[in-house]
């Protein structure tokens, strides 16, 4: 369990270091072109997910996401006690990853975001993004578990662009990005609504695919 928890912590750390670090780099190099900045943030995020799931999947399952962990609690593939420990590891790892990104780019270490991300369209986007992510994992788990790293990376790459929220789809990521007043940030006061929609979507997706796959 110690190795599994460390894998969740370290993997989520690298995920957030990539999300925030690539966001800072993209904004610095894009010359004010938001589309180019978003593309510069999207590609590294999708790529690192493939790498992290390949590396840490055999150790912890590579959840890196409380909504995914919740799905596996519902499926009785992880105990509630272990799930709580996973979520703590994911959240703390994500926050440290943000701090490391800030240090790499000489930003203020703790810099709460003022980036507004709220309203019905963004809440719906987070539901759709998270539903699709959990559906991707569960669908591939049934027939092509070896494809999960690539499917998740490709799905998040796509979801950055077809959702108005740019697809956070992860409560740990959402919390951590509240600490970063950068391109990837979110105003901390807008975090709870995002998390509520993500967790709801995770539950709905899990039961939907339990029925679809007749598990």
For residues 62 and 56, what is the distance between their CA atoms, to the nearest angstrom?
Answer: 5
Whether the pTM exceeds 0.75: the reply is yes
Query: Does 14 score more than 90 pLDDT?
Result: yes
Q: Tally Cβ neighbours within 10 Å of residue 212.
A: 12
pLDDT at 124: 98
Segment 153-157 mean pLDDT: 98
Q: pLDDT tens digit string along 178-215?
A: 999 999 999 999 999 999 999 999 999 999 999 999 86
- Look over the chain and give the mean of its residue pLDDT values, rounded to a whole number: 97
Contact between residue 194 and residue 173 where contact means Cβ atoms under 8 Å apart: no
User: End-to-end distance of the chain based on CA atoms, in angstroms?
Assistant: 27
By CB neighbour count within 10 A (0-12 exposed, 13-18 middle, 19+ buried), where does 34 fall? exposed
| DSSP reduced 3-state for 68 | helix
Instruction: Tell me whether residue 31 is exposed, middle or buried, using C-beta atoms within 10 angstroms of its C-beta: 0 to 12, 13 to 18, 19 or more.
Output: exposed
In this model, does residue 49 exceed pLDDT 90? yes
* Average confidence (pLDDT) over 165-188: 97
pLDDT bucket at 171, cuts 50 / 70 / 90: very high
C-alpha 92/C-alpha 175 separation (Å) is 10
**Above 70 in pLDDT, residue 84?**
yes
Q: 67 is written with which tokens? A: 């909504």
Interatomic CA distance for residues 49 and 42, integer angstroms: 11
The full set of domains in the chain, from first to last, is: 2-212 (1.20.1080.10)
pLDDT given for residue 214 in this prediction: 83
Q: State mean pLDDT over 123-140.
A: 98
Burial 104-122 (b: 16+ CB within 10 A, else e): eeebeeeeebeeebeeeeb
* Percent share of the chain, pLDDT over 70: 100
Residue 142 clears pLDDT 70, i.e. is over it: yes
What is the DSSP track for 96-144? HHHHHHHHHTT--SSB-------SHHHHHHHHHHHHHHHHHHHHHHHH-
The pLDDT assigned to 215 comes to 63
């Amino acid at each position: 369990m110690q190795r599994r928890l460390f894998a969740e912590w370290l993997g989520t750390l690298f995920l957030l270091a990539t999300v925030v670090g690539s966001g800072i780099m993209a904004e610095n190099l894009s010359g004010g072109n938001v589309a180019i900045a978003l593309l510069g943030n999207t590609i590294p995020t999708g790529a690192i997910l493939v790498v992290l799931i390949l590396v840490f999947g055999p150790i912890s399952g590579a959840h890196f996401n409380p909504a995914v962990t919740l799905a596996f609690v519902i499926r009785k593939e992880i105990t509630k006690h272990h799930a709580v420990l996973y979520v703590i590891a994911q959240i703390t790892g994500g926050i440290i990853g943000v701090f490391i990104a800030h240090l790499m780019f000489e930003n203020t270490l703790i810099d709460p975001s003022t980036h507004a991300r709220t309203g019905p369209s963004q809440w719906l986007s987070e539901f759709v993004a998270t539903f699709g992510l959990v559906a991707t994992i569960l669908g591939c788990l049934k027939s092509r578990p070896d494809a999960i790293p690539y499917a998740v990376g490709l799905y998040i790459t796509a979801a950055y662009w077809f959702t108005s929220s740019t697809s956070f789809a992860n409560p740990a990521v959402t919390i951590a990005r509240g600490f970063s007043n950068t391109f990837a940030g979110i105003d901390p006061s807008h975090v709870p609504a995002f998390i509520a929609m993500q967790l709801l979507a995770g539950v709905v997706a899990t039961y939907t695919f339990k029925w679809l796959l007749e598990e």
